[in-house]
Amino acid sequence: MSLCPLNGVPEVHGRVRVAVRLRPRNAEDLASDADYADCIELQPELKRLRLRKNNWSSESFKFDDVFTESASQKRVYEVVARPVVESVLNGYNGTVMAYGQTGTGKTYTVGRLGKEDPSERGIMVRSLEDILASTSELDSASVSYLQLYMESIQDLLVPEKNNIPIVEDPRTGEVSLPGVEKVKIRDLDHFLEVIQIGEANRHTTFTKLNTESSRSHAILMVYIQKAAKLKDEDAYAPFESSTSEPRINGRDVPLVTKSKLLIVDLAGSERIGKSGSEGHSLEEAKSINLSLTSLGKCINALAENSPHVPTRDSKLTRLLRDSFGGSARTSLVVTIGPSSRHHSETSSTIMFGQRAMKVENMIKLKEEFDYESHSRNLEHRLDHLITEIERRDSYVKEMELKLKRCQDSLEDAGKRLSACAGSVSNERHDYEMQIRNLMAELNLEKERKNNVEEEVSDLRCRLDDSVHITRQHSIELATLSKSHKDSLLKLEKNFKSKHAEKKFLDEEFDAIQRKMIEKDEKSMQLELEVSTYQKVLADTTQMYEQKISELIEQLDEERKISQGAKSELEQLKNKINDQKKLDQFEEQGELIELRKQVKELYGHHEYATSELQSLQRENEELSNGKLKLIEELNTLRQKLKDEEIERKKVEVEFLKIKRVSDTNIDLLEKTQIPEKLDRVALGEDKSLSFLMSNQVKGSMSGQRTTISKIFEEVGLPNVLALLKSEELDVQIHAVKVVANLAAEDFNQEKIVEEGGLDALLMLLESSENETILRVASGAIANLAMTETNQGLIISKGGAQLLSAIAYRATDPQTFRMVAGAIANLCGNERLHTMLKEANAIQALLEMARSGQSDVLSQVARGIANFAKCESRGIAQGHRKGQSLLIEDGALPWIVSHTTSSQLSVRRHMELALCHLAQHEANTRDLISSGGLKELIRLSHESTRDDIRNLAKRILTISPAFRSEIQRSC
């Protein structure tokens, strides 16, 4: 690439700008200067710095800017480097450099990457950030990163490249480093990657003055190429253009600005004795000091406008030739420490800065013609011309060939013309006649044609109109059809997705319906079977009952017949006796006759008797049959009862199966958990009171054994899974089992581990069922016994959920559980602020409104716990200020309940009042709320010695209470 600087670019004077930055005191300064004042006093508003020699003399220096130890990296960048970066982006060269004693913050100011904390980023990163933000696609920013170590230049990006020579352009004085790696930067992350590679290769070491002291001068070179505006848009005119040569002054050749930014982090100057360098480090230190001395000499010479500037004394001054006394805009930040131990080093640093401020540079714009892209354009034009010439040559040849063919045919025609000339004159006359006729006809035709043309033009007009209208219509149509198409496509897409959704839902619906139909069929079948069986049973019973009543009727009739026969027999007997009497008085014949008759009657009687006997037998048989039937009837009735019980069981089974199938819990079917849960649930009240009372514990051991058994059989995960069941019964049973398990210390950790706490909190959040809320709160109250669980409950939002229930629930038993849970949490002082934020104290007071004694006990316990822990926290110094209980308005409640008729409530509130009264920040509220009066009363009347004594002690030691008592006396 050939570069040609533009002539006539204006030059401007630009003094080297110098700012001072004071490093904060470090541990060493603090340790060694504890009794001494700093040697530096900054006056940033005056941009002045005062260097104290001793207690009675000091010197003042003015700089372009003065940064205190608290100055941010951003401000330092904006004041020191940004003007230089902006100037570089406008095409000027620029230098930003840090100079100072070792350990005073040069690398911190210039090279800090700020990977963890972007506010820590130094000048290098921030400059690249600004440069990348203002370079377009056509521009480019590349970097090289070098170190000057022991007078040798090394490429920090390719460390194998060492001893790189410095080449100076004799014409422009421009310095270049052949072979040095130039990396085109894509974005800031890329730059950070590149710079980190360089940092890894930089020489640093541990010295007495800096744990990570830079032992080399690091130089970041940023090359920026930006396209300058073209003077003529016509620079690439086509070959027909009259322009044949590129013109240098603003027509055909594109312009670019090429500028370079140098960011230099110098190695620190050091007093060898102080830094403790020896051996190789000593050599390093000497080399650093040497190059810094030669830089100082050059600056001195430039400041004094000396004709000779000893630039060639060191590689550092050769590299910085353009930065001091050259064409670059230069900004220098001199870093100093506050300690008076380094007074002389600080003083020489300040003097270096003062001299550098006197150096004037001649800032020049580096605009160049971009011959590279211009020559590419010319080559392109040349190729275009060559192709065109070739195309024209072939065209000329083709034309010549055609011309020749035309000449040949012309010759031919001439010959034929002369041969035909004779016959033509004869024919001519005939033709002329014909022509005349034809002309007449032609005129006629013309007239007709004119008419037709008129018609045609008329039609055309109309056609044009209609074409115009049609076109408009078609445009409208096209617009409409496009929008219709779009909406159609959208609709189609929507329709497809809806269709797919619908299909999926239909399938789901069908499957559910099929399942339901199956269930319904099954249930109908069962119902049918039951009703058929009942009907058969009823019919059979009816039939037997009818048969029995028939038999009874028959028996009665038989009885009547037998009685009739008996009475007939009696009559006959009477008659026979009568006849016998007659026999004695009447004839023998008649007697015989009578005997016959008697015989007959006897026969009758025998028959009647046998009849009677058989009837009696039959009667007996019937009675037996009846007994049997009654027996059968009873068995049938028993069967019926059994059937009824069976039917009910079937019904219950059916309901269970239906529920399970509806909620899709296979688990229930397999493990028959409901029955087990039912067994456990039998002792609901006992188990719940068990949660709160130790006395009942003994009586619960049997039930606990059952629960443990179920726990083992079913497994905690399965029970916890049931907490999420959609079936209310199942949820209620499950939460009761979990509550029972949570009552045992050894289960609590497992419950929390398996996600039981989350599931219980989920129930508090989502369930509307008061039993569930009550039992879940009880379970949480049990879990809230340990410190770990208390923290977990609060962090998972348990306190908010419990507080919310205080406003949602109506059952005092639920309040008791919720208040119990909150009361346990109140016993952890670290959670107090979060409990307050979760409105837990307010919730306790809200629940106390129920007036129920159990609830009041829990509320009082919670408040007393809170007051006790808070008081402990204040005594240990974790907390100060007014009590959170007072902030939340609990004081009136506490004061009023110190006289509660409920012993436990009274005790708790007496204690809570004493705890609050112990702290000065609460005394004013206690006085105004009547708490002091109660305290005085307690000091005499409390039935507990400890409370009486505590109250007395507080009243004696509190100045506020003492003066209030005196005042009211």
Ligand X SMILES: Nc1ncnc2c1ncn2[C@@H]1O[C@H](COP(=O)(O)OP(=O)(O)OP(=O)(O)O)[C@@H](O)[C@H]1O
Per the DSSP assignment, residues forming a β-bridge with 751 are: none
Q: Out of 131, 156, 261, 267, name the contact with ligand X by CB under 6 A.
A: 267
Which positions ≥6 away from 539 have C-beta within 8 Å? none
Cβ distance to ligand X smaller for residue 52 or 208: 208
Torsion of CA 600, 605, 610, 611, to 10 degrees: 100
Q: State how beta strands 213-214 and 217-227 pair.
A: unpaired
The least CB distance from residue 103 to ligand X, in Å, is: 5
The least CB distance from residue 333 to ligand X, in Å, is: 11
Residue count, binding to ligand X (CB under 6 A): 18
Cβ contact 903:867 at 8 Å: no
Q: Out of 87, 93, 95, 102, name the contact with ligand X by CB under 6 A.
A: 102
Cβ contact 63:19 at 8 Å: yes
Q: What is the DSSP string of 364-411?
A: EB-EEE-HHHHHHHHHHHHHHHHHHHHHHHHHHHHHHHHHHHHHHHHH
Cβ distance to ligand X smaller for residue 104 or 790: 104
- Enclosing H/E stretch for 128: helix 123-133
The least CB distance from residue 105 to ligand X, in Å, is: 3
Q: Out of 93, 95, 104, 287, name the contact with ligand X by CB under 6 A.
A: 104
Q: Out of 95, 259, 335, 346, name the contact with ligand X by CB under 6 A.
A: 335
User: Is residue 562 at the binding interface for ligand X, with CB under 6 A as the rule?
Assistant: no
The least CB distance from residue 214 to ligand X, in Å, is: 3
- Enclosing H/E stretch for 790: helix 787-795
The least CB distance from residue 311 to ligand X, in Å, is: 23
**Token pair listed for 869:** 């822990």
CB under 6 A: which stretch of 19-27, 129-137, 536-544, 729-737 binds ligand X? 19-27
The least CB distance from residue 338 to ligand X, in Å, is: 11
Cβ distance to ligand X smaller for residue 325 or 337: 337
The least CB distance from residue 215 to ligand X, in Å, is: 8
Q: Give how far Cα 296 sits from Cα of 146, 251, 292, 657, Å.
A: 21, 46, 6, 97
**Residue 150 and residue 205: Cα distance in Å, rounded?**
14
Cβ contact 203:197 at 8 Å: no
Q: Is 862 annotated as a binding residue?
A: no
Cβ contact 654:523 at 8 Å: yes
CB under 6 A: which stretch of 174-182, 211-219, 491-499, 501-509 binds ligand X? 211-219
The least CB distance from residue 97 to ligand X, in Å, is: 12
The least CB distance from residue 273 to ligand X, in Å, is: 16
The least CB distance from residue 268 to ligand X, in Å, is: 2
- Enclosing H/E stretch for 20: strand 17-22
The amino acid that residue 277 corresponds to is: S
**Token pair listed for 471:** 């076109």
Cβ distance to ligand X smaller for residue 107 or 767: 107
CB under 6 A: which stretch of 88-96, 98-106, 326-334, 386-394 binds ligand X? 98-106
Closest CA to 61 of 52, 43, 45, 48: 48
CB under 6 A: which stretch of 27-35, 77-85, 205-213, 805-813 binds ligand X? 205-213
Cβ distance to ligand X smaller for residue 268 or 862: 268
User: Is residue 105 at the binding interface for ligand X, with CB under 6 A as the rule?
Assistant: yes
Cβ distance to ligand X smaller for residue 107 or 147: 107
Q: Is 107 annotated as a binding residue?
A: yes
The amino acid that residue 677 corresponds to is: L
Cβ distance to ligand X smaller for residue 210 or 813: 210
Which positions ≥6 away from 286 have C-beta within 8 Å? 272
- Enclosing H/E stretch for 729: helix 728-742
The least CB distance from residue 218 to ligand X, in Å, is: 9
Cβ distance to ligand X smaller for residue 105 or 931: 105
User: Is residue 339 at the binding interface for ligand X, with CB under 6 A as the rule?
Assistant: no
User: Is residue 103 at the binding interface for ligand X, with CB under 6 A as the rule?
Assistant: yes
Cβ distance to ligand X smaller for residue 215 or 315: 215
Cβ contact 687:736 at 8 Å: yes
Cβ contact 687:740 at 8 Å: yes
Cβ distance to ligand X smaller for residue 123 or 751: 123
Long-range contact pairs involving 438-446 (C-beta distance under 8 Å, separation at least 24): none
User: Is residue 213 at the binding interface for ligand X, with CB under 6 A as the rule?
Assistant: yes
User: Is residue 210 at the binding interface for ligand X, with CB under 6 A as the rule?
Assistant: yes
CB under 6 A: which stretch of 21-29, 567-575, 655-663, 856-864 binds ligand X? 21-29
The amino acid that residue 618 corresponds to is: E
**Residue 263 and residue 571: Cα distance in Å, rounded?**
158
Q: Report the helix count and the strand count for the chain, using DSSP H and E.
A: 34, 19
Cβ distance to ligand X smaller for residue 251 or 274: 274
CB under 6 A: which stretch of 58-66, 95-103, 718-726, 959-967 binds ligand X? 95-103
Q: Is 95 annotated as a binding residue?
A: no
Residues written for the chain: 969
User: For residue 507, is it left (φ>0), alpha (ψ between -120 and 50) or beta?
Assistant: alpha
Q: Out of 214, 277, 865, 929, name the contact with ligand X by CB under 6 A.
A: 214
Q: Out of 17, 19, 92, 106, name the contact with ligand X by CB under 6 A.
A: 106
Q: Is 102 annotated as a binding residue?
A: yes
Count CA within 13 A, CB hemisphere, residue 908: 22
- Enclosing H/E stretch for 59: strand 58-62
Cβ distance to ligand X smaller for residue 93 or 335: 335
Backbone angles phi, psi at 2, to 5 degrees: -105, 130
**Residue 887 and residue 277: Cα distance in Å, rounded?**
63
Cβ distance to ligand X smaller for residue 335 or 789: 335
User: Is residue 23 at the binding interface for ligand X, with CB under 6 A as the rule?
Assistant: yes
Closest CA to 805 of 767, 831, 779: 767
**Token pair listed for 149:** 């170590």
The least CB distance from residue 114 to ligand X, in Å, is: 11
User: Is residue 14 at the binding interface for ligand X, with CB under 6 A as the rule?
Assistant: no
User: Is residue 107 at the binding interface for ligand X, with CB under 6 A as the rule?
Assistant: yes
Q: Is 335 annotated as a binding residue?
A: no
Q: Out of 91, 94, 268, 325, name the contact with ligand X by CB under 6 A.
A: 268
**Residue 890 and residue 844: Cα distance in Å, rounded?**
9
The least CB distance from residue 291 to ligand X, in Å, is: 13
Q: Is 100 annotated as a binding residue?
A: yes
Backbone angles phi, psi at 328, to 5 degrees: -90, 155
CB under 6 A: which stretch of 9-17, 22-30, 150-158, 233-241 binds ligand X? 22-30
The least CB distance from residue 108 to ligand X, in Å, is: 3
**Residue 381 and residue 174: Cα distance in Å, rounded?**
34
Cβ distance to ligand X smaller for residue 212 or 486: 212
Cβ distance to ligand X smaller for residue 29 or 558: 29
The least CB distance from residue 208 to ligand X, in Å, is: 11
User: Is residue 349 at the binding interface for ligand X, with CB under 6 A as the rule?
Assistant: no
Q: Out of 108, 145, 191, 324, name the contact with ligand X by CB under 6 A.
A: 108
Torsion of CA 415, 419, 425, 428, to 10 degrees: -70
**Residue 317 and residue 308: Cα distance in Å, rounded?**
14
Q: Out of 14, 91, 94, 100, name the contact with ligand X by CB under 6 A.
A: 100
Q: Kindly identify the residues of this chain, within the stretch 642-661, that bind ligand X according to CB under 6 A.
A: none
- Enclosing H/E stretch for 614: helix 588-663
User: Is residue 216 at the binding interface for ligand X, with CB under 6 A as the rule?
Assistant: no
Q: Give how far Cα 538 sits from Cα of 313, 550, 551, 633, 644, Å.
A: 129, 18, 20, 11, 13
User: What residues form the annotated binding site?
Assistant: 100-107
Annotated binding site for ATP: 100-107
Residues within the interface to ligand X (CB under 6 A): 23-24, 26, 100, 102-108, 210, 212-214, 267-268, 335
